[in-house]
Amino acid sequence: MLNRLREQREAKGWSQGELARRLGVSRQTINAVETDKYDPSLPLALRMAKLFAVAVPDLFIDDWEPENADGR
């Protein structure tokens, strides 16, 4: 899932560590989300969106495409 977390964090002038502290998670979690190695839980995604005063869909971009009925 693509996201704008780094963009939002940098706009606030926060380090990954500062954002992690504000959200109650590790810096490694923030790094993993920013580099698309980890999709946050719904509660964490909601906290992130609330912290940046944006809607979840404005912070996270769903790039998933469903398969056609015939499997393609």
Lowest mean pLDDT among 28-37, 46-55, 59-68: 59-68
Number of domains in the chain: 1
Q: What is the CATH number of the domain that holds 40?
A: 1.10.260.40
* Residue 43 lies in domain: 2-54
Phi-psi label, residue 65: left if phi above 0, alpha if psi -120 to 50, beta otherwise? beta
Average model confidence (pLDDT) across the chain: 93
pLDDT of residue 69: 66
Q: Is residue 41 a part of any domain in this protein? A: yes
For 61, the token pair is 């971009």
pLDDT of residue 72: 60
What's the CA gap between 57 and 72, in Å, rounded? 27
Q: Is residue 33 a part of any domain in this protein? A: yes
Q: Is residue 61 a part of any domain in this protein? A: no
Mean pLDDT for 1-28 is 97
